[in-house]
Every structure is written in C-alpha cells, then in structure tokens.
Amino acid sequence: MTVLALGGINMDFFVEAPVIAERGQTREGSEFYTTPGGKGANQAVAAARILEGRVPVEMAGMLGDDRFSEEMRDALESVGVDTSFVGMAAGQHCGVAVILIDGSGENSVNAVYGSNMLVDEALAVAAAESLEAGSVLLVQQETPLDATAAAMRVAWERGATVILDPAPTRPEVAELHALADILTPNEHEASDLAGTRVHDPVTAREAARMLRERGTGTVIVTLADQGVWVESDGISELVPSHEVTPIATVGAGDAFNGGLATGLALGLDLLEAARMGVAAGALCVTRRGAQEAMAPRSEVEALLAHRRA
C-alpha cells in the first residue's frame, strides 16, 4: 500500500501582523519567514511524519529550476517522501504563496502556482499507476484539473481510495467530485460548493448531504476548532476537535487530510481515520509554519490516547 499526494508544491512567504492591512493601508508586521509548503506537499509530509516508514509516501508534482525548488525537494525527502514523480520544468519558477497571519492566528493566502500548472496527464497517470488496492490518493486543486482527473480515474480503477480536498474552490469540478471517494471541504469551501452558509455542525451536515447527492460517497466538512462533520453511508456525526492553544491555522486542513489518509492506509475505519486527522490538525495549529508544523507519530498517538482516556 502507498499514500500518494498529487498536488501543489509551493514556497510559502509568511507575514505575521497584529492586524492585517486593508486596501490602501500600510501596517507594521511582527514576523517574516519562508518555509516549504503547498497543499500536496504539506499533505505528503503530514502523512510521512505519522507513518514513519510503515507505509510508503510518494509525492507527484512539478518544480521549477529556481533557487527555491531544490530546497522544497530536499524538505520532502528529509521526512521520507519519495519524489520520483516530482518533475522539474526548465526556465520556470516554482509555486509561491504569500500568507498573512493576524493576531488571532487566522490566515489569508494569495498563491501564484507557477510550475505546478505544468503537471500534465502523463505525469499524473504514471504516478497513479504505482498504486495498488488499499492505497490512498490525495488530490487538491492547485494543479491542472484534467491531470488530476486522469490520476483519480486510474486510482479508482486500481482499487485505491481517492480523497479530494476541493481547494482552492473552482467552478468546473463536477467530474472531480464524482471520481472522489471522500470530499474534504472546509466550512468556506463547503459554503461555496453547496451554495449555503456553513458555520456549525448543523449547517455542515446539510451541506454534506447536498454534496453527497452529487455523487461523492463520503463528505467530511472540517470546522476548525469545532471538529469535522462526517457524512457517509450509515454515518452522520461530528468528530470533535481537541482543546489546544492555536498559534497559526496555516496547514491545519492539510494536516487533517494527511492524517485521514494515514489512518485509512493503516486499515482504520472511517471514523477512526477521521479522528487521526483531527488530532493531526489540532497539533498543527500549535506551531508556526506549514510542513514543519506537521506532527510526528508520537504526538498524534499521545493526543488520541488522551482523548480516549
């Protein structure tokens, strides 16, 4: 079995400020730093940190040939992620994201996807063909949708579980929803997709049921510190979050998806896998950065044990 993440690999530029400047304003920030990120890469690292070699983790995507790309490949490999399906586009810059974090830890992101948008169907299919029954494919929407759909079709045919994180939201994603076994929008994405405001477990359940009617077997709506709503065959319930002190919410959704994929790859049922994802997401928000904020196996297991106790 394998966990394969197909998606964005970005260099993140963080600016922390007590108050984020509005249009036409200039405000003083408190911190600036860079760190490897991107939804696909974050999810691969989250899975690799928890699995610690028990199940192989692979990354598929496209880097440029600028000074950040080598750093991002090294970051993936340093935690055991196989980068055999990570290509290099000559003369292109890598994806970048500017992330603003306010005094409450909430973030806003503007991304320029660069070389990520050169992922083609040939690369995506080749990566998906490495999967076997019981494997997990993680995809998002930071790479071309036709390549993502091609990988999802191959993974489905090979008996792998396909998890789609529908971020950033795009209008032309009906086919992707039908190809996904599990859809994992956050409350904002669920609101966009369902056309209704999602802000609590009740509204998350309503949106999840609407999205299931469009062809996705399981919908999990992440609700930040409220937990996640799981809607599937015979399951309709909230998996609550853990009480933690957040520093930054960057990467929390990616940590959840990586933890969810990890649980499924290890043979856990859907709810237990969701609990692993919730624990990974809760730990992520207690530290700065993206990939370096992903928690190791020992911390995730300790938090889960504390909840059971």
Which of the four pLDDT bands, split at 50, 70 and 90, describes residue 121? Answer: very high
Residue in the block written with tokens 């306010």: 102
User: Does the annotation mark 225 as catalytic?
Assistant: no
Q: What is the pLDDT of residues 281-309, one digit of tens each?
A: 999 999 988 899 999 999 999 999 998 87
Which of 66, 181, 254, 269 is catalytic? The answer is 254
Q: Tokens at residue 273, please?
A: 């896998």
Which of 252, 261, 264, 260 minimizes the C-alpha distance to 294? 252
Task: For residue 31, count other CB atoms closer than 10 A to its CB.
Answer: 10
Q: Tokens at residue 147, please?
A: 């390549």
Q: How many helices (DSSP H) and strands (DSSP E) are in the chain?
A: 10, 13
Mean pLDDT of 157-168: 96
Residue 50 in this model has a pLDDT that exceeds 90:
yes
Residues with Cβ < 8 Å from 184, sequence gap 6 or more? 163, 164, 165, 166, 219, 220, 221, 222, 253, 256, 257, 260
Return d(Cα 43, Cα 3) in angstroms, integer. 10
Return d(Cα 63, Cα 72) in angstroms, integer. 8
Q: What is the DSSP string of 72-106?
A: HHHHHHHTT-EEEEEEE-TT-PPEEEEEEE-TTS-
Q: What is the pLDDT of residues 16-49, one digit of tens each?
A: 999 999 999 999 999 999 999 999 999 999 999 9
Task: For residue 93, count other CB atoms closer than 10 A to its CB.
Answer: 17
DSSP 272: H
Task: For residue 6, count other CB atoms closer than 10 A to its CB.
Answer: 29
pLDDT at 90: 94
Q: Tokens at residue 281, please?
A: 């997401």
Q: Which CATH number fits domain 3-7+39-61+119-308: 3.40.1190.20, 1.10.10.10, 3.40.50.300, 2.60.40.10?
A: 3.40.1190.20
First to last CA, the chain: 31
Q: What are phi and psi of 85, to 5 degrees?
A: -100, 20
Distances (CA, A) of 43 to 16, 67, 128, 191, 247: 23, 23, 16, 23, 19
